Amino acid sequence: MELRQIDAFRWEIPRHGKMRVPGRIFASERMMADIRRDKSLEQVANVAWLPGIVGYSMAMPDMHWGYGFPIGGVAAFDPDEGVLSPGGVGYDINCGVRLLRSDLRRDQVVPHLDELSIALHQAIPSGVGSESRRKLGDRELDDVLRRGAAWVVAQGMGRRADLDVIEEGGTMAGADPALVSARARERGRPQLGSLGSGNHFCELAYVAEIFDERAAEAFGLFADGVTVMIHSGSRGFGYQVCDDSLRTMLQASQKYAIELPDRQLCAAPLGSPEARAYFGAMACAINFAFANRQVMTHHVREALTSFFGEGPQGLGLDLVYDVCHNIAKWENHTVDGRERKLCVHRKGATRAFGPGHPAVPARYRAVGQPVMIPGDMGRYSFVLAGTEGSMRETFGSSCHGAGRTMSRHEAKKRAKGRPIWRELQDRGIWVRTDSLGTLAEEMSEAYKDVADVVEVVHGAGIARKVARLVPMAVVKG
């Protein structure tokens, strides 16, 4: 496959074969060696086959092989000719990240990391098959699927102000619980407010470095200030919604004569009954994930305020922002000087709207939308801000994390015999998990250095560095 380097941060796959648009890769030259090791570049080209795709088939610097679309993939589709593809959303629908800031300082927390890590681990159910403290009834589940985080706040688990700083206000429109299978409902009913497994986490960190004082002040971040980051999604509910859709979408691809280079890209025209049904079920999973992170936020606030003996207002613990990673939704974007309504797929990519955009909360509109980029549990994460460049070039999108460099199997093989938890503790990071296997799979060496990933999006101008966060205590799924 021909790959042309445009500049230090951009590469292009020229149109060839049945590609409708070129591919656009954001990466440094050094990172391309890792990217070439799997088939993710081929997947970028495959996505460009899909009808109605606009601009480019794109991939962010944390890209790696995924189901259908590469993880890190972004693609936008015209409403008249375009398609909706579950492979462009992923199995963990609305996997995302939220960040809380606090008035606590690092020196207040470091002496208590052992006890705090235990308190957080006890507060948030985690691990494979983890379940919440409360099993939802049918009517409650329907309310969650329709209202998302708003339902949780109405139950007294959160603040009204939280909803102002969640993508989509914490409620995705168009959700229809009638379109969700009995199996998805069964899997979701006991899981609201649980972390799950794999790369999901709850992390207590401190602000180690500030790059943009103005944006940091707007976000409520200050040097040595303590933060909490929660990374989780729609659990088994979202997985089942995706799984349920694939057979229908494959049949739809055949029905509407959509030629696919890979059956994992199965799709349906955006105006079709099949696409509308998937969108209605997907929106339910998006709302489940918003509600899931909101419940965990409530439990984190309870745990920390109980530990420090103060009310939540006394500690701050304000929600900075909550962003989605795996989602498809309607947005307005300017293309060739004309505003167009497009269906934007982000799979392992983060919305990064720039300054002045009406969808950015008023308190952040002057500096751009907060963008949280988690790294690995042994190094650091970053807070960025959306830019005008992302609006011009990537449909308001940025990277979503570090990106794996080795499979989970390979990571476990390389970590065999190593006390990963002890290595982290020796570096001042207390980790709690129900599975030592997860620690092996999630060791730092299994991921790209997120600083390299962030440097690419910062250098390309599609997001701007605001702050670097260093972990102190981590609960792993």
- Which residue among the candidates 121, 231, 298, 400 is catalytic per the annotation? 400
Q: Where are the beta strands (DSSP E) in 22-164?
A: 23-26, 53-64, 71-77, 83-84, 96-105
Separation of alpha carbons 114 and 16, rounded Å: 56
Separation of alpha carbons 219 and 320, rounded Å: 6
Neighbours of 307 (CB within 10 A): 17
Separation of alpha carbons 123 and 368, rounded Å: 33
Write the CB contacts of 422 (distance below 8 Å, at least 6 apart in sequence).
Answer: none
Tokens read off for 89? 């959303």
- In one-letter notation, the amino acid at residue 416 is K
Of residues 227, 454, 464, 468, the one with CA closest to residue 366: 464
Separation of alpha carbons 84 and 364, rounded Å: 31
Separation of alpha carbons 35 and 63, rounded Å: 7
Give just the sign of the alpha carbon dihedral 129, 401, 294, 318. Answer: positive
Separation of alpha carbons 194 and 12, rounded Å: 40
Taking only Cα atoms into account, the Rg of the chain, rounded to an integer number of angstroms, comes to 21
Q: Where are the beta strands (DSSP E) in 91-220?
A: 96-105, 201-210
Separation of alpha carbons 61 and 59, rounded Å: 7
400 is catalytic: yes
- In one-letter notation, the amino acid at residue 100 is L
Angle, CA of 192, 194 and 196, to the nearest 5°: 120
The single-letter DSSP state of residue 191 is: T
Give just the sign of the alpha carbon dihedral 307, 312, 315, 317. Answer: positive
Place of tokens 């939540």: 312
**Active site (catalytic) residues:** 400
